[in-house]
Copies of this chain bind each other. A is one copy, B any other.
Amino acid sequence: MHELDLGSPPLDGHERGKRRRIAEILAAARELLNEQAADEVTTSRIAARAGVAPMTIFNLIGTRDDLWAAIAAASLTEVSHGSSEIEDARERAHAIADQFMSAIISEAPVWRALISSWRDSGRVLEGEPTGALLSCFDDAVDQGHLSHEVDIRRLVATILSGFVGAAHQWAAGLISDRGMRRRASDLVDLALAAGRPDGPPPMWPPGS
């Protein structure tokens, strides 16, 4: 959501009101997810807490799965600042991975609920980290840390599956907070090591 705030034309009152209501609905849902089991966080309870009609949630956000996706996106976007100033693309990739895992850990009850009760939880992390990592890996190519013959998009997609899996393993209690952060860091290492510019022919030529 923060991306829309940068350089967008001024919003009219109607649009501002709509955004405020969306923010209130998401905040209410996150509060409730911190307080009770996800099954109990019904649309009508969220609506009551946010002071809107249940139908408003559907109109402004969509289905229950869309609501979970919006909560995930809101939780992740809040921490996606800061890393863009890191010059070295390899360090920045690690910072991005760590920030996202930290976002999940810092709101653990919400994320455990989202991941374990959300039917479409494969959508976790589909949105934000992809863009940040793509531009970071592009810079890594420019800085000579990744071969320019490697398909960056494919490299990012591959480690994102790892992030999704690590988040699920964490939600299932199979890996600790520290284990999830380390797994994310290892996935970044894996991509950087696999795509390093020396040695044998690259793994995946662009567009492969």
Contact = CB atoms under 8 A, between A and B. Distances in A.
Contacts of A171: 122
Nearest to A172: B122
Interface of A: 116-117, 119-124, 126, 154-155, 157-174, 183, 186-187, 189-191, 193-196, 198-200, 203-204
Nearest to A158: B186
Q: What is the count of identical protomers in the complex?
A: 2
B174 A168 contact: no
A140 B40 CA distance: 50
Given A199-B196, A203-B193, A161 B169 contact: yes
Nearest to A198: B199
Nearest to A160: B165
A162 B189 CA distance: 14
A174 B120 CA distance: 9
Contacts of A204: 186, 189
Given A120-B172, A170-B122, A190 B203 contact: yes
Nearest to A124: B168
A187 B161 contact: yes
A163 B183 CA distance: 13
